[in-house]
Amino acid sequence: MVCAVVCFACLDASAKYLNGYMDTLEVVWARYTGAFLLALMVSNPVTRPGVLTTQRPLLQIGRSTLMLLSTILNVFALRFLQLDEALSILFSTPFLIAILSGPMLGEWIGWRRWTAVLIGFAGVLVVTRPGIGGMHPAALLSFASALCYAFYSITTRMLARTDSNETILFYSNLVGVLAMFPVLPFAWTTPQSPLIVALMLGMGLFGSLGHYLLIAAHRLAPASLLAPFIYTQLVWVILFGYLVFAHVPTAWTLGGSAIVIASGLYVLYRERKVKGLP
């Protein structure tokens, strides 16, 4: 799980770097195309005919579209925000999932977790400081990305009841590639250096490897045990932000992140207690 979030941190850092050399939509295209080609080498309809078999095709397309929207919004936000700022806002995703799980999955939460959710949102407000000129308006893009990702996570739980991990991952990349190719001619900028080409390919590698490690981790341990390790991603984005972009996190970002992480850990703790887990 820790290795997975390192891959995701590398993915975000690469996307932010490439934003300075090409259109954001081209960055998204590179991420999905690279991931699709790599996944095709391992699991494809020729060698594994069942990979295209899904009992809920419309939900597969809807879920993949949500993932694509979340990616586009996040990459656009990274054009203007520091890595740690964008990630701190995306950490609100567990709270959004907790809210949506009731009406969509019938998994209602109690008053303790509602309190933790509200405190977590307060932490996001500390990071963004709306109304006092502390944060770029692109913070709204990050929050919209988190909202899309929350719906994406809910639909993933729904599909996990009927479809395999390989099928779910294949459709995610396929829909992303098909959606981005029509807009590519309008956003294309020819890469000017081997480093840019390497990063474009690397995005696909980081995305595919990260999701593979994520799936492997969930095969070995319950989600409630793994979830806290997601927050280690903040350490890596702060490190990459400093080394690559010379960004130093502000006290507001660190303080808000601490509130969000503490609230998220409490939500996970209450979930384990409710389910009777040690």
Which pLDDT tens digit goes with each residue over 118-172?
887 787 777 766 655 566 788 889 989 989 988 887 887 788 778 777 787 788 8
Report the share of the chain in percent with pLDDT over 70. Answer: 90
The larger pLDDT score, comparing residue 251 to residue 101, is at 251
- The Cα 119–Cα 84 span in angstroms is 19
Question: Does residue 276 carry a pLDDT above 70?
Answer: no
Looking at residue 50, its pLDDT comes to: 75
Report the share of the chain in percent with pLDDT over 90. Answer: 24
Question: Does residue 223 carry a pLDDT above 70?
Answer: no
Domain boundaries of the chain, sorted by first residue: 2-274
Looking at residue 207, its pLDDT comes to: 86
Contacts by 210-214 with C-beta closer than 8 Å and gap 24+?
210/4, 210/5, 210/7, 210/8, 210/11, 211/4, 211/35, 211/169, 213/1, 213/3, 213/4, 213/7, 214/1, 214/4
| Residues in the chain, overall count | 278
Task: Work out the average pLDDT over 73-82.
Answer: 91
- The enclosing H or E element of 213 equals helix 194-220
pTM of the model: 0.81
